[in-house]
Structure 1
Amino acid sequence: MKFLVRDRIFGIGDDYWIEDEHGRKAFLVDGKAMRLRETFELKDPQGRVLIDIRAKVFSLRDAMTIERDGEALATIRKKRFSLLRNHYRVSLVDGTELDVSGKILDREFVVEYGGEMLAHISRRWLRVRETYGVDVVHEEADPALMIAVAVCVIRLAEKEREGDRDDD
């Protein structure tokens, strides 16, 4: 199952439709303006909130949380000790951990569980400028969660890059 996501969905207050591979509206990313921290809602086409994405406040390392129905679902952080610069860990509340690795800023990475690929994020197979695809390859993987993970990891990597520029 493939979804098309525009790169510009990260502005506070920005709204954007994520389409399926057939061009149908699948999810709405609703950026919430006037908040102290970055907040996005991932909604279905009928407007029901499926997932809330929030930047974690008062954290030693940048982190984002994913919530479903008001309950924490996952926390995403950069892996502390990794040979790969772009390696993130998704810690689900049930104790499950997903690994995200690849070239995050180039939009070429994978989400894995136990070495098995759940989703592949890429802009290679798209001709639309400033768009990347989220290909949910595992039949049991939750598409909304995979999109939320991609959004969070990209935002964390961009914030890190902005921080690196500020240090120069």
Structure 2
Amino acid sequence: MYLIRERIFDIGNDFDITDESGRRVYHVDGKVLTLRDRLVIEDAQGREVASVHRRLVALRRTYAISIGGEKAADMRKKLITPFRDRYTVDVPGPDDLELRGDLLDHEYTVERGGRTVATVSKRWFTIRDTYAVDVAEGEDHLLILASVLALDLAQSRAEKEREEKERND
């Protein structure tokens, strides 16, 4: 299980991802003030191992996920999503991931082929902006964590756009 905690006192969107014992596994450097909203995931030694950035060319909000400098997946919201939010993480080949649930409250599942491969929950934490990601054994933990972060980035962007629209109306 991983815990993702936003650093409340840092400028920008920086997060630490820790294991259950509180040991930092990854650091996420958020470059959300850039044109393309970008997150850089670094290992415990500070080396970039993955990144997430918003693609500007897509009709739908799309986030590209790279691992080890190579494109690993694209995440986008499904067009028709009655009652619950749903996102698809399109990976090369037939093993796409689907994220579904109450995304604003960070209560959702990550599925592959109808099988739950990870759960995300904020329910058990009283610490602001902390949520747990529990990844099934044998799954690509970094891809799933990057997908969760892409979703967090997409939700943050959508919220900012809603607020801006309300101010302009």
TM-score w.r.t. structure 1 length? 0.86
The number of aligned residues is: 165
**Could you tell me whether the CA contact under 8 Å between 2:13 and 2:30 is conserved in 1?**
yes
Residues 74-111 of structure 1: per-residue CA shift (max 9 Å, x gap): 00000012224411011002342111100000010110
| Structure 1 CA distance for aligned equivalents of residues 103 and 59 of structure 2 | 21
Closer, same or farther in 2 for the Cα pair 1:12/1:83, shift >3 Å? farther
In the other structure, the counterpart of 2:66 is 67
Q: Give the aligned partner of residue 45 of structure 1.
A: 44
Deviation at 1:155, TM superposition (A): 1.9
Aligned positions of 1:1-168 closer than 5 A:
2-7=1-6, 13-32=12-31, 35-136=34-135, 138-165=136-163, 166=165
For residues 21-60 of structure 1, what are the alpha-carbon distances to aligned partners after superposition, in whole Å with 9 as ceiling and x for unaligned? 1010111102247743111111110122211111111221
For 1:104 and 1:52, locate their aligned partners in 2 and report how far apart those are by CA, in whole Å.
Answer: 21
Cα distance per residue 1:111-155 (max 9 Å; x no partner)? 00011111100011223232111111x211122111111111122
Residues 132 and 94 from structure 1, CA distance in 2 versus in 1: closer, same or farther, beyond 3 angstroms? same
CA distance in structure 2 between the partners assigned to 1:104 and 1:162 by the alignment? 16
Letter in 2 for 1:161: E
For the residue of structure 2 that corresponds to 1:94, the secondary structure is coil
Q: Which runs of 5+ in 2 are unaligned?
A: none
In structure 2, what residue type is equivalent to 1:100?
L
- SS of the equivalent of 2:58 reads coil
Specify the SS of the correspondent of 1:147: helix
Identity %, equivalent residues? 35
Please report the TM-score for the alignment, with normalisation by the length of structure 2: 0.86
